[in-house]
Structure 1
Amino acid sequence: MTSSTTPMTEGIPAIGSPEFAADPQGHYAWLREHAPIAQTKIDYGPVSQPIWVLARYEDCRAMLTDPRLPRSPGGGSALAAGLPEHVRMVSEESLIMKDGTQHKRLRALVAKPFTPKVIERLGERVRALATHRLDALAGQDVLDLRQEYALPIPFTVIADMVGVGEADRARFQLGVTAMLSNFEGTRQDWDAKIRDLTELVRELVARKRAEPADDILTGLIQAEEDGDRLSEDELVAMVFTLIVAGYETTFNLITNAVVTLLDHPDDLARLREAPEDTALWRSAVDEVVRFAGPVGGTKPATSVEDITWYGQTVPAGATVIPLLGSANRDPAAFDEPDRFDITRTPNHHLGFGHGPHFCLGSNLARMEARVAVQVLLARHPAISLAVPRDELAFEPMPLWTRYRQLPVRLG
């Protein structure tokens, strides 16, 4: 993709449209220069929503702590309005969509399983899963690394964390796959799978209440802060949040990391030669998040009053999204922002957000990506693309950088 400016004489294309997806960094550069606050629309499945977008780093960062821009004023999300009831419930009960004291309450109840020390203890489990997957793939000439390696590792981790037994894993995977599919297939089929996933999570909650286990879902059920506990709807919503934060983000981060390193062979060689340099590997993962992170924007916020940026007034009630993918390439915030640098310091990217909604699963995603790529490079140092680079295509997901496939030769 080029970083050159793209003329937009006919207005700003919809986020996620083929025109925008063909050159997102070009559009981001144009927006930062000419329209740092702009009105467009976003299409998400059956929902088409007019939105305002912010393109510059400092504006995006400030927005994420601005009380005039809550995510759910009045308890509802603008983008959830057209979704089925069971989907709207898990969205609106999620801590991702809560503000103020409601958000603080939920975050306090769920934060303990996500401390850096707890996440690092999962490292050996991730290493074992990565090794097992590569054992299973041994002897294959060409394989889809996204589907056969990047995806199964975080799926197994999140299923373990939630406490999904072997008997329920196929059913769990069907629902998770539908949830992350951007409404592919028929609407009725998608609704049925999401409804079944919701019912499965409720069944799991009931089982863990009756028979507590050593997993995060049991921990969430038992979590208490000043006599307060999560309701059943909040527990179900939290599992869906874990799926997005701990699974969807992570397998795409692993995929994007491999592509980015193959695009930068000198950095790839440096990491391959320093498998024990944890600081360098952590820095490299953060640079992947900045340079080619899977998440290009946060959940939408709603203005509760008129807000003016650069002489442009965003009216009360408008939906506003910070373009994190643009902010992370802003030359006002990063030296040579279009250069991939695994030693970049400081690296204050917004790939995991900022402020009260900073991603709770950031430590988990970083660790899984680091370990998965370390194991892959140690086992297959000659890994290479099995198709020309320009044949790698993105999925049509607005504000996501998700490859459809990653065909490789392990070497």
Structure 2
Amino acid sequence: MTERPVPASELYTDEMTADPYPTFAHLRETAPVCPVSSPRYDSYLITRYDDAKTALTDPRLSKDLYGPDKHYLRIFGPNSEGLNKNMLNSDPPEHTRLRRMISQAFAPRRIEALRPRVGEIVDSLLDKVVHQGEAELMHDFAIPLPMTVICELLGIPESDHERVLDWTQVIRTSGSSGRAPEEDKAAVQDAQLHLHHYLSDLVQAKREAPADDMICALIDACDQEGKLSERELVTTTFLLLFAGHQTTADFIGNATVALLTHPEQLGMLRSTPELLPQAIEELLRFDGPLPVASPRIATEDVVYDGVRIPRGSIVGVVINSANHDPAQFADPDRLDLCRERGPHIGFGHGVHYCLGVSLARMEARIGIGTMLRRLPNLRLAVPPGELRRLAAASPFRGLLELPVEFDV
């Protein structure tokens, strides 16, 4: 094991973008707590399953990036506070208060009531491509499906869906867009500013014309119960918007590629569709959309696997590495849709466990199941190695494009 910092440029390579799992295996074996140096900030990556699960609930690893030490400046930059100061980047009791405010909106019974509408959205998107024999599934299906669902839940007018999507995609593709670094940074800041202004104006408009949607429920909590500040209204809306579609979109893309490159597993799923709920869990374990959990800060010196992580250090828990740890999963690099549903941490662990898990599972099950049924002989239109992905250093594991062909 080594405590020598690994330069980010040596870690986040083109090879890792295409397939990060050999790198994760190497880190688990040789540097399970790996210091990484980069121009923006240094960090420590925790890669083994047991350590990862412990770290996700370790109170010494804080999620509060907006406290007196202003750790967010290193990670997000000075313009982030208007959108990112939300429950994701907070600790109890603030996190508990904010999470309680929106948890009812994601109650399983309420999410289940959305099933018919999700099915309608899935079919309407597939109707547009089913007679073409080809599609770019990220743009045509995987991204607009969860984006439409969360926009409707929040109460974002349909006429605004496209521009809101455009702003979120600028943020999503940061570092992967082909733009020059300074141009990329400016584009992201501009998109964040537009989103902040748009959501602030939307909240005001809904105060003047209330409706039965999630934003209006949050406004009631703010105005009548005094439980949310004005800033928290906007930042919570942004969190729900972005988290409510981004990871689901990337997961649908990743899962589709995994199935199309494992034809025996795809054939089994087609012939045994009742396997779909179990398959979704295995596909999430196999290639999840969030490789590293959102950052944590060591509030004191902590030791994992004999490595001292100094106070103030940024810590990244590598979820996708933990979910491939052979100490936890037999033959972890093999996709096995019949694998017994194990305790993967694809949705996180502890108090920050994904709040939208019921919605994400439902969208994935309906979306993937219907796609496989309606697009016969679905296949990649390019070799797997030519698929364009988000950069390895991106917070997300996803595809820029997913060209496919199918029989008409």
Fold similarity call, TM over 0.5 = yes
Matched, 1:261 2:259: yes
Partner of 1:118: 110
Residue of structure 2 aligned with 1:362, choices 353, 357, 360: 357
Mapped to 2, the partners of 1:197 and 1:346 lie a distance apart of: 39
The one-letter code of the counterpart of 1:251 is: A
Matched ranges for 1:305-344 at <5 A: 305-344=300-339
Matched ranges for 1:12-411 at <5 A: 12-14=6-8, 16-18=12-14, 20-41=16-37, 48-72=40-64, 74=67, 78-81=71-74, 83=76, 85-91=78-84, 93-182=85-174, 184=177, 185=179, 186=183, 187-223=185-221, 227-275=225-273, 277=274, 280-398=275-393, 399-411=395-407
The one-letter code of the counterpart of 1:375 is: T
Residue 408 of structure 1: SS of its match in structure 2? strand
Farther-moved stretch of structure 1 (183-192 vs 148-157): 183-192
RMSD over equivalenced CA pairs, Å: 2.4
Mapped to 2, the partners of 1:356 and 1:323 lie a distance apart of: 17
- The count of residues paired between Structure 1 and Structure 2 equals 397
Give TM-score, length-normalised by structure 2.
0.91
**Aligned-pair distance for 1:304?**
1.1
Contact 2:292 2:316 in 1 (8 A): yes
After superposition, what is the alpha-carbon deviation per residue over 1:206-232, rounded to whole angstroms, capped at 9, x for unaligned? 122222212111122223799442112
The one-letter code of the counterpart of 1:164 is: I
**Aligned-pair distance for 1:374?**
0.9
Residue 336 of structure 2: SS of its match in structure 1? coil
The one-letter code of the counterpart of 1:134 is: L
Contact 1:119 1:363 in 2 (8 A): yes
Mapped to 1, the partners of 2:293 and 2:218 lie a distance apart of: 24
Residue 39 of structure 1: SS of its match in structure 2? strand
- Specify every segment of 5 or more residues in structure 1 that has no aligned partner in the other structure, as ranges: 1-7
Residue 247 of structure 2: SS of its match in structure 1? helix
The one-letter code of the counterpart of 1:240 is: F
Contact 1:81 1:88 in 2 (8 A): no
Farther-moved stretch of structure 1 (181-190 vs 305-314): 181-190
Mapped to 1, the partners of 2:268 and 2:101 lie a distance apart of: 41
Change in CA separation of 1:22 and 1:274 when aligned onto 2, cut-off 3 Å: closer
Give TM-score, length-normalised by structure 1.
0.90
Contact 1:80 1:88 in 2 (8 A): no
Mapped to 1, the partners of 2:356 and 2:199 lie a distance apart of: 20
Change in CA separation of 1:127 and 1:21 when aligned onto 2, cut-off 3 Å: same
**Aligned-pair distance for 1:170?**
3.2
Residue 131 of structure 2: SS of its match in structure 1? coil
Residue 153 of structure 2: SS of its match in structure 1? helix
Contact 2:253 2:399 in 1 (8 A): yes
Change in CA separation of 1:82 and 1:293 when aligned onto 2, cut-off 3 Å: closer
Mapped to 1, the partners of 2:172 and 2:58 lie a distance apart of: 29
